[in-house]
Amino acid sequence: MATLASQNISTSGLLATYSAATATTGDRFLPASGTFLHVKNANAGSVNVVITTPGTVDGLAITDRTVAVATATEKFISLPDTLYRESDGLGTVICTPNTSVTLAVVRI
């Protein structure tokens, strides 16, 4: 499990660094306002990106966020701390399948 560093987008732009999605255990990130997960899918099929939602409402667990990323496409997913911050301060994302999937956490 790797922790993805948040990369700040400045007024002069950002050439983001991407990491391969980690198999099974997923990757960690620091959720915060203005932070996004950029997912690039070069896999031969669609990929499910599952972001752990640790909170509860009235004692009931909130369903984890699942975002489908189609073949040969990219998506930006907002990572607000109010939804995805776990007890250690980080969040978790798991891509299934993870082959040919790269991730970057960017922040404005």
pLDDT at 24 exceeding the cut of 90 = no
pLDDT in tens, 58-107: 999 999 999 999 999 999 999 998 899 999 999 999 999 999 999 999 99
pLDDT of 42 above 90: yes
Residues 23-51 have a mean pLDDT of 96
Per DSSP, the residues of 11-69 read: TTB-----EEPPSSS-EEE---TTEEEEEEE-SSS-EEEEE----EETTEEPPPEEEEE
Look up the CATH number of the domain holding residue 81: 2.60.290
pLDDT band at 40 (very low <50, low <70, confident <90, very high): very high
How many structural domains is the chain composed of? 1
Q: Is residue 40 within 8 Å of 77, Cβ to Cβ?
A: no
1 has pLDDT over 80 = no
Domain extent at residue 29: 2-10+17-107
